Structure 1
Amino acid sequence: MHVEGNILIHAPQSDVFDFAENVELLTQCIEGCRNVHELGDGKYAALLEAQIAFLRMAFKVTVELSRVERPNTIEAHIAGTPVNLVGKIDARAGLTLEPAGPAETRVTYALDVSLAGKLGGMGESVFRAKAKEYGDRFAVHLRDAVESKLLEKAP
């Protein structure tokens, strides 16, 4: 399942990259992301909680930064299991940053997800719609957080 979108952020590309590269700041933009802690060597553990259709789900995941190319690209591999449900989630997530003006950056997010076990049987269309919704909200949270952080720095 592939989901992607983009958003324009009124900030220089270097500032957006600095924000996105900071795992603590970036994960605050992901709804339902909790208990993030570093495992070392670019790996992190987290709990992701989401409302999918009528189910409230939680996933224990590990996230490994697989590609960081300043100031354009951040990619990660995400793997995990749902809490209280048989299955597995495996995903690749990425952010691509491109200058869109002197102080503007176009951020494209992409997420490729595969689901196994009972998760896979629940219906890809339901997961796709929810993933797109969460992705779009992530992009808005990212934009708002970066732009407000820049306002805090302004003299």
Structure 2
Amino acid sequence: MADTRETPISFRRAIKLCFTVLFAPDRMGEEEDRDNQVRERKEPAADQRAHPAHVVRRAFFQSLLLVLLSGSVGFVWGIGMHHLGRCATPPTVAWIQIVGAGMLLWGTLFVRGWEIETWSGVSLTERVNQWLYRTLCCVGTALVVYSLAFPACKV
């Protein structure tokens, strides 16, 4: 069985790793080697893997939280524009929706699976792949909701 324990990574380091993958992929190999060495030095897990049903349940609720958070950010941003006395013209709404839909599609098309997958699924590259995918999807969702909550100008 593969060791699926991840090394802890701070939010700041996660952002740095995302930029490293995008703009300095050769350095990412070094980062991943160091992370693999840390993982190898850890004590072996006493087979405390969660049952797959628990994994699915956790993923379901974590993704629900991301959906609610993304939608809330977009909604609050849109309502905030109303309170600032702003209104959206039809072309503005259309462009925001196009950009949001584009980000959702971009995340879907870019995400890698089998090409980078390891037995454990916890390599830095795999984790960065997930973070980038989720970021694109959450920002795209927030933009679409924002475009819907941003009040239209009265003609």
TM-score class, shorter-chain normalisation, is: under 0.3
Superposition TM-score, scaled by structure 1 size: 0.27
* Structure ranking higher in strand proportion: 1
Asked which structure has the greater CA Rg, the reply is 2
TM-score, normalization by structure 2? 0.27
- The structure whose RCO (Cα within 8 Å, separation 6+) is larger is 2
